[in-house]
Amino acid sequence: MVLNKLDRAPPHYFGAGPALLPTEVLQQAAVELIQYQNLGIGLGEMSHRSSQAIDIINTTKQKVTQLLDVPDTHEVFFAQGGGTGGFAAVAGNLLAAHAHKTGKKGVANYIVTGSWSQKAAEEAERLGADVNIVVDARKFTPNGKYGVIPAQSDWKFTPNAEDIAYVYYCDNETVGGVEFHAPPEVPEGVELVADMSSNFLSKPVDVSKFGLIFGGAQKNIGIAGISLYIIKKSLLQHASLEQLRQLQVPIIPIFLDFPTLVKNNSAYNTLSIFALRIVQLNVEHLLAKGGLKAQGEESKRKAAKIYALLDKHPEIYKSPVAPTARSNMNIVFTIPGDGKEETFIKEAAIWGLTGLKGHRSVGGIRVSNCKSTGDVLPPAAGAPP
């Protein structure tokens, strides 16, 4: 079969990020990359401050607000830097907000349940933040690896809640396949920060429980080059630069300064309007599917099928994640035996199933449960019966 240049066979790609996107979203974006609204130029060429770009920014904000039912107490905005840039942005901005509120530097509290929350804590400390590790999940497993979410009775927050600038956690750890199925409980009055890069828009979220939600787009809502933030408006009030220097609070580069970004409607510097337009199209796609309730049910159903197979054949597949902490977005497992994982990956490719190799730091197999993957997978040409 000869495909149109904008067509593709139904993909069954399970890479964690950049991850699979709906074909119809990419087709629309591909056309608009060449020409947008008969302007004679495409999305990658027009000014981020043009009326068309501003309309994309505002419409995407409105659609995200609609999809997540974002309350009036919170603001939606966009930035560069990806999830890794967010590690630094969170530390600088949240400490500055705490300094404005209390006149103190504050202690950043990190719940470490995987490699991404570990990296976030390390980045905050590298910048000069005072960091308290609330819990390190590796200390609660026999092999010293990530795979559990320890009971909250084992967590140790900074004793005086007024000294806590924020509590940070990663809602879904892509490498270790660990996911929180409810937000963690934190001391009263303390702001909760969530990195939701890899499960954002995969399930309903009560935004009111969070001081800040952020994520790089490329794992679940778009392509690389843009990040999405939802912040409590009260956290946009920062101490002065002079006060921050006196308190030795890290001062964030201005392109990641939240008050500056919000004041300039996410366009203080050159935002990738093409990447943002893909976010808009993807959010509209989810709204048309029935919103996050429908998407959450679909994600659970697909993940349950895979976990049922793993549990049915423990003599073949080994799951390193505690059942209560299993991710619906990133299902990880190993296949013990010399060369068996390599054989699995090669034979899966014959069936058209790709992107299954685990993260380079841990190996194994990883099935990333993207929104576009189907339930019935037709065999590729030449597949075994």
Give the span between the Cα atoms of 80 and 271, in whole angstroms.
7
Query: To 10 degrees, the CA torsion angle through 362, 363, 364, 369?
Result: 80
Q: Which of 61, 105, 116, 203 is catalytic?
A: 116
Give the span between the Cα atoms of 372 and 370, in whole angstroms.
5
Give the span between the Cα atoms of 146 and 143, in whole angstroms.
9
Q: Which of 61, 63, 163, 195 is catalytic?
A: 195
**b/e string for 150-173 if b means 16 or more Cβ within 10 A?**
beeeebebbeeeebbbbbbbbbbb
- 23, 85, 107, 127, 133 from 221: Cα distances, Å: 13, 17, 32, 29, 30
130 assigned to active site: no
155 assigned to active site: no
* Pairing assessment for the beta strands 178-179 and 12-13 based on DSSP bridges: unpaired
List CB contacts of 75: < 8 A, sequence separation 6 or more.
230, 231, 233, 236, 262
195 assigned to active site: yes
Q: Which of 63, 105, 219, 302 is catalytic?
A: 219
Residue 139 CA, chain-centre distance (Å), reads 25
Give the span between the Cα atoms of 343 and 335, in whole angstroms.
10
As a residue count, the chain comes to 385
**Residues belonging to the active site:** 116, 195, 219
